[in-house]
Structure 1
Amino acid sequence: MPLIRRKNRERQTGSVEVRNLPSYFSRLQRLQLVRTTAVPVMVNPPTPTLAQGQGLVSVTIANSGAGYSVGDSLTPTRSSAFAGRIYVTAVNGSGAVTTAAVMSGGCYSDTSATPMSVTGGSGSGAQFAGAFKPVAASSIYNPKLYDRTNEAAFQFTGYSPQDITSGYRGNGVQNGTQMIIEFQSDTPVLYFRMVGGNYQGDLYVDGQRISGTPIKTDSSGASYIYHVQFGDGSQNYAAVRHYELRGINTGFGGVAVPQQYGIWRPDMVQPPLAWVLGDSYTVGIGAVQGSFNDMHIMGQCLGLRLICDGISGAGFTSIQDGRVPQDRVALKLGSITEKPQFIFLNMGYNDAPAGHIEQFQTNFRATVAKSRELCPLAQIIVIGPATPLGRVSNITAIRQTLMDLCNELVLPFVDVDDLVNASNKSLYTGADNTHPTPAGHVFRGVRLAQLVSRII
């Protein structure tokens, strides 16, 4: 049966007595907040489109045509993910175009100088040669861009956010782990500027995923735009909404909206932040979407904001640079943009084959000590090792060691022993016999929420 070991009313840390803070949620609040199912994909979601390409920055007239008027809006006929728009700024007496400007860059994979025919306007026959740049890619006519550096527009939750390549922002410390970018907007249509760097993420609007398919870029370093449109994009679909872009390998260049709409930082009282130190389960291996893994589902059920720091293959006995658990804590919690109120230590499965119990104990104690040093007000909660195929002797040994360490260090221990077992493994464990299936992530997430709700 799952076991939770509760904290004592007091603990000693060196010569300083630290009293427990009052539980963040009253029992009534917990009953109100804890969901018994995972948060689904939103009903009536917007339409998302991810496109790679470059945008028009200027045009030269290859054929002036005839019959055009100043103010005509012309659309190039070249194949594109999103078409650009050319604005006629001057004509001669016969309506031949004499000057034109780009009002929307579009998104093109073919960036050759071959003249492009156009549709629209009052005339015919005009052709233009275009000059393209990656940063000009656009899916909105005459967009208003909120750059990645705009602190009045965006709230970053991550580790020393900074440019990881020219014009694009990510984690300054281990960009391969999660970053969250939040903002609010009243627009019915917008697009994100991204760069190809193996990004994997998901967009949440008002707390729900807009799609069951993750956002993925390649590693080319090419420009991407992620276009999101509610309904037909008209003002009938305008509403104030809260946006969260959650992902790893982040390369974020900003967000563009039509001129009449805006973006602003969601400065308001928010739910408590929880930080997770984990392994491949925390990465989301086995889940359809990385942000829909067991820990994220637990957080959603509990009403917590969550940032997951998962590294595949990691454990308390890890010795590789960047994987040693106490070093990960120092790197991440030493540079995180907001100190968490809860810290979850969610490892142990990868330590079972090694059997290095003394190293496990040393690193675990150091991990807890560093966590307490950097976040003295945070509640640390330890989650037991997963049992994807049921109980085995090595995992049982790690579980017992964790329980003993939690007793020693006065930490709550959430025991997931045999939640997934020999009887239900076909439902909840994938073909690799290690990672959860998508249903397994949901099962574990909901069960974890119910168990953790007795502690926080």
Structure 2
Amino acid sequence: MKRIYLICAISLLISCGKSGSGELTSPEPVVVADPVLLKLRSALKFSKEFAVWGETLITYNERINDQTSSITDGVLIAGNDVKFKYLNVKSVINHPNLAGYVIPQSTDYGVGDLKNVLANVASVEFLFSGSRFDALIFGYGSDFSIGNIQVEIDGKFTNISGYQYPPTNDGRPHYLNFEFKTVAVKRRIKIVYSGIRLFGGIVTDKNAVVEAVVPDNNLKLLVFGDSFTAGTGAENQFNKYLAYRVGDLLGFDNTIISGVGGTGYVNPNLSNVRKVFQQRITDITDAKPDAVIIAGGINDLGLAQPDEFAAITLLFLQTVSNALPNTEIFVTGPWWGSGVGYPQAHANAIQKSAAAVKRTHYIDVSTWITGNGSITSKNGSGNSDLYISSDKIHPSIAGHDYLARKLAAEIRKVIE
């Protein structure tokens, strides 16, 4: 009897592995989701569109000639207080001579005329319960004569273009006063400012409460490149930068921006004052991002033959990949300010290099700009009339947004 049961069991087991025609079939493969892509996919639910509260929410006053706060009996919460969370930078360090101030760091510009520029964009975030505060910005640096600051409240910016204030490179503190029309129980505040400035904290009323923000997802995106990444053409509206916008659209909690104008894979620009991509690779590796976007090549034309250029880009991408094996890498072809004369040979070299590096995805941007006009020289030949700035190279404010949306859509295809 036991033998009969055994034979029946074997027959049943064999029949389970047969198709209807009696042929043996393999079990369906189990698809295991890539943990890195799963992590990036989790950020997408935090995707954020640019939104504006409206001018009536707050009033703004810049006390340019007064080095004291408008809140005379207020409390200073220094910039290095743990209640402040810094974003868009890989790190902040305490200023060696100015107590309470922090220096944002994300971009290794090199030496020379830009030695004081330490970050393209910096922002600080905190929870605030109260009616008013003064943000303390120190005049530091030499490359921008006009300051600009954007303020985001509960995920929405207070106005479209931000607030401009007079020169702040005078070595003095400047108190930027924000006063709410209504008092809310708790608001999530984000101050976005030029990385050439130093943030010294905020002054509040004694009964105001400042708390640390609990991050949405703690995921970091690093955008690395040239002047397109640095925001040229966006008129110091930092929250409109291509790099800043793509991070918001993909839902990253922290988008670190590392862009140096005029540079590339082989071009250091300014008589070797700045650095080629390989020389500032620590901008990427030190930040340890969950994903990185690398965009360059426009400044490298005529400096290397395609085969040599391919070898240089391959070395760079391979170095990033080896240092960050669990980071997803997205690399674009060269940005271009026209639909004419695209440097396809350089783009092909970058694409070839990307294909040879694990976790690296090439994004073709060659057809995104059409025509050869600009916002000041419209000729009806294509979308360049709207998306290219007056210099006929860099994107306009609308162009930064357009390119960010196109780029985010392509990255979504990989993540999803």
TM-score, length of structure 1 as denominator length? 0.69
Identity of aligned residues (%): 18
SS at match of 1:454: helix
Give the drift of 1:414.
1.3
> Do residues 149 (structure 1) and 80 (structure 2) align?
yes
> Do residues 228 (structure 1) and 170 (structure 2) align?
no
Matches within 5 A, 1:86-235: 107=66, 134=67, 137-155=68-86, 157-163=89-95, 166-167=98-99, 168-171=101-104, 174=108, 175-197=118-140, 198=144, 200-211=148-159, 212-215=161-164, 217-231=167-181
Q: Distance in 2 between matches of 1:370 and 1:316?
A: 13
1:346 to 295, 317, 334: 295
Structure 1 residues 266 and 401: alpha-carbon distance in aligned structure 2, compared to 1, 3 A threshold: same
SS at match of 1:433: coil
Aligned to 1:101: none
SS at match of 1:296: helix
Aligned to 2:13: none
SS at match of 1:404: helix
> Do residues 325 (structure 1) and 274 (structure 2) align?
no
SS at match of 2:264: coil
Q: Distance in 2 between matches of 1:455 and 1:51?
A: 48
Structure 1 residues 228 and 351: alpha-carbon distance in aligned structure 2, compared to 1, 3 A threshold: same
Do the aligned partners of 1:325 and 1:363 also contact (CA within 8 Å) in 2? no
> Do residues 302 (structure 1) and 317 (structure 2) align?
no
1:259 to 206, 219, 224: 206
1:225-281 alpha-carbon deviations (Å, 9 max, x no partner): 1111211xx6x3443323243432131111111111122221344352100111111
Do the aligned partners of 2:59 and 2:178 also contact (CA within 8 Å) in 1? yes
Aligned to 1:46: 58
> Do residues 433 (structure 1) and 372 (structure 2) align?
no
Do the aligned partners of 1:284 and 1:291 also contact (CA within 8 Å) in 2? no
Aligned to 1:283: 230
SS at match of 2:258: strand
Structure 1 residues 243 and 413: alpha-carbon distance in aligned structure 2, compared to 1, 3 A threshold: same
1:31-77 alpha-carbon deviations (Å, 9 max, x no partner): x6656xx5133345422333323xxxxxxxxxxxxxxxxxxxxxxxx
Bigger fraction of residues in strand: 1
Give the drift of 1:214.
4.7
SS at match of 1:282: helix
Do the aligned partners of 2:135 and 2:201 also contact (CA within 8 Å) in 1? yes
> Do residues 449 (structure 1) and 380 (structure 2) align?
no
Give the drift of 1:294.
1.8
1:68-115 alpha-carbon deviations (Å, 9 max, x no partner): xxxxxxxxxxxxxxxxxxxxxxxxxxxxxxxxxxxxxxx3xxxxxxxx
Q: Distance in 1 between matches of 2:284 and 2:175?
A: 31
Q: Distance in 2 between matches of 1:245 and 1:164?
A: 23
> Do residues 386 (structure 1) and 328 (structure 2) align?
no
Taking only aligned residues, the RMSD between alpha carbons, in angstroms, comes to: 2.7
Where structure 1 has 5 or more consecutive residues not aligned to the other structure, the ranges are 1-18, 54-106, 108-133
Do the aligned partners of 2:134 and 2:177 also contact (CA within 8 Å) in 1? yes
Aligned to 1:126: none
Do the aligned partners of 2:125 and 2:188 also contact (CA within 8 Å) in 1? no
Aligned residues: 346
Bigger fraction of residues in helix: 2
SS at match of 1:312: coil
Structure 1 residues 455 and 300: alpha-carbon distance in aligned structure 2, compared to 1, 3 A threshold: same
Structure 1 residues 190 and 205: alpha-carbon distance in aligned structure 2, compared to 1, 3 A threshold: same
Do the aligned partners of 2:370 and 2:383 also contact (CA within 8 Å) in 1? yes
Q: Distance in 2 between matches of 1:309 and 1:375?
A: 17
Aligned to 2:186: 239
SS at match of 2:248: helix
Structure 1 residues 202 and 373: alpha-carbon distance in aligned structure 2, compared to 1, 3 A threshold: farther
Q: Distance in 2 between matches of 1:209 and 1:382?
A: 30
TM-score, length of structure 2 as denominator length? 0.75
Give the drift of 1:334.
5.0
Do the aligned partners of 1:148 and 1:154 also contact (CA within 8 Å) in 2? no
SS at match of 1:412: strand
Aligned to 2:18: none
Give the drift of 1:192.
1.1
Do the aligned partners of 2:307 and 2:349 also contact (CA within 8 Å) in 1? no
Where structure 2 has 5 or more consecutive residues not aligned to the other structure, the ranges are 1-33, 109-117, 372-381
Give the drift of 1:454.
0.8
Q: Distance in 1 between matches of 2:366 and 2:227?
A: 18
Structure 1 residues 328 and 145: alpha-carbon distance in aligned structure 2, compared to 1, 3 A threshold: same
Q: Distance in 2 between matches of 1:49 and 1:165?
A: 28
Q: Which amino acid aligns with 2:226?
A: D
Q: Distance in 2 between matches of 1:20 and 1:321?
A: 41
Structure 1 residues 389 and 153: alpha-carbon distance in aligned structure 2, compared to 1, 3 A threshold: closer
